[in-house]
Structure 1
Amino acid sequence: MTEAPLEEVHRAVYRPVREGNALEDTVARLVQTLRLGVVAPGESLPPERELASRFAVSRDTVRDAIKELADAGYLVRRRGRYGGTFVADPVPPPAHSTATPAEIDDILGLRRVLEAGAARAAAERTFSAEERAALWARHEATVAAGAGEYRRADTLLHLAIAEAAGIPSLVPLIAENRAQVNVWLDTFPLLPRNIEHSNAQHEQVVTAILSGRADAAEACVLAHLAGSEALLRGFLA
């Protein structure tokens, strides 16, 4: 089954940036699209004109931001008929985290509030057959993902749940939070048994949402986040 595009997620990461720090914010927003997997390694970014329109900045600002990220190895610019700006494959790994315990507590605490609330809100909605199929397809794509694609598929499933909540302003909050969590996750390897456990928990979450069991959806998300939180604290401590 073809995965439906995450429209609210795209609107969230490609929303206008602040006027006072246009270049810095444009760079940060582009990095966010990479860390979230909105654009996969080897895939192309939207054209400069479209990025400028979405970020509400000049094309010069977009070009400068792309140059900064190309120089840092995150993007590759190609000329010619099939040219454009492409995400590096692989994307450079993040530097080792220097997060303090207080920063970790803050990000993970916010994550619990946002994602558990999103799951509850999603479970309280009535979905069309197409929406139900799209959310389940995201879960199936995560199960089918290989080790190299798993974290991207996992992220897109979490963002699909955020979008399923039906609260557009919630999506950029979860996207920004998740981007920071992904920086930390990328500092340590995937564990095969953790993938198996994660997939089982994802199924519980999605099933609870689609069956309209809000309490169960919230509880399943919190249990799922507790597992990854334990790993994060173990590797980052």
Structure 2
Amino acid sequence: MIDSAGDALFRPVRTGNAFEETVERLLQAIKLGVVPPGERLPAERDLAARLNVSRVTLREALHALQESGFVESRRGRYGGTFVCAAPPRVTPTEVSRKDDLEDALTLRSVLEVGAAEFAATRELSEHEHGHLRARLAECDNAGLDEYRRKDSRLHLAIAEVSGSPSLTAAVADVRMRLNELLDGIPLLPKNIEHSNRQHAVLVDAVLAGDAPAARRAMAEHIEGTASLLRGFLG
């Protein structure tokens, strides 16, 4: 039986970052004890309907949490997806406290959304076009062991083509804080696939000179990352 807290957590997610937000909602339900250790999550059909996501998206989110040690799948008549009896705990650190997390995410949003928007207003050189395309390709082809470094380089490249060295330095500083946070959560292949698609939309908008689209694309992209960080570290 899911109580009113469960109803609040298992509410429909937004469509832009459905996978990431589904992971966040499930982690919140587990961490807050809405579904206690050893208990079964609602059936897939019911949970997908509550969250307003496809069963494919829900299964991908559950698989990510299973790989991370938060849930386990059991077969048979009384099977389903159960919260692990001893879910993993993130070791508290200075950077993983909720106030530090939200401060870093707010700063990142202001800086990177603004950088993307402003970069799209500039008439970029052929070299700058090539620079962005090269960083995008590196991200697309990166393995898990180097993905975060390549991802950081792409985001810095967008700041660089804004033409403001001060903004680039500020984005670099916030990226260092972000990477410390990201080091505390697992890399999820589904999230990487989604991020790469969002990267392509973002770079296309910047290169097309479409500032509103670049702003929207960056805002949606970083909110997906924020959902995962809040889910795992919040």
Map 1:119-198 onto structure 2 (within 5 A).
119-198=116-195
What is the rounded CA distance, in whole Å, between the counterparts of 1:173 and 1:130 in structure 2?
A: 23
Gaps of 5+ in 1: 1-94
Q: Deviations over 1:83-127 (max 9, x none)?
A: xxxxxxxxxxxx753433222111100100000000011000011
1:235 is aligned to: 232
Q: Let me know the Cα RMSD of the aligned residues.
A: 1.5
| 2:93 alignment partner in structure 1 | 97
Per-residue CA deviation, residues 186-236 of structure 1 (Å, 9 max, x unaligned), is 112110100000000000100000000000000000000010000001111
1:215 to 212, 228, 231: 212
Looking at structure 1, the residues matched to 229 and 189 of structure 2 have their Cα atoms a distance apart, in angstroms, of: 16
Distance 1:161 1:96 in 2: 32
1:28-76 Cα shifts (integer Å, max 9, x gaps):
xxxxxxxxxxxxxxxxxxxxxxxxxxxxxxxxxxxxxxxxxxxxxxxxx
SS of residue matched to 1:147? coil
Q: What letter is aligned with 2:181?
A: W
Name which one, 1 or 2, has greater alpha-carbon Rg: 2
Whole-Å Cα distance in 1 between the matches of residues 171 and 97 of structure 2? 21
100 and 152 in structure 1: CA distance in 2 versus 1, 3 angstrom threshold: same
Taking only the aligned residue pairs, the percentage that are identical comes to 48
Q: Give, in whole Å, the separation in 2 of the partners of 1:186 and 1:116.
A: 23
Which position in structure 2 is the counterpart of 1:64? none
Normalised by the length of structure 2, the TM-score is 0.59
SS at 1:166's partner residue? coil
Equivalent AA in structure 1 for residue 220 of structure 2: A
Give, in whole Å, the separation in 1 of the partners of 2:181 and 2:97.
12
**TM-score, length-scaled by structure 1:** 0.59
**What amino acid does structure 1 have at the position aligned with 2:123?**
T
SS in 2 for 1:200: helix
Please give the alpha-carbon distance, in whole angstroms, between the structure 2 residues aligned to 1:205 and 1:128: 18
Q: Secondary structure at the match of 1:175?
A: helix
Distance in 2 separating the partners of 1:100 and 1:152: 24
Q: Distance in 2 between matches of 1:162 and 1:129?
A: 17
Count of aligned pairs between the two proteins: 144
Structure 2: unaligned runs, 5 residues or longer: 1-90
The letter for the 2-side match of 1:177 is V
Give the counterpart letter for 1:122 in structure 2: A
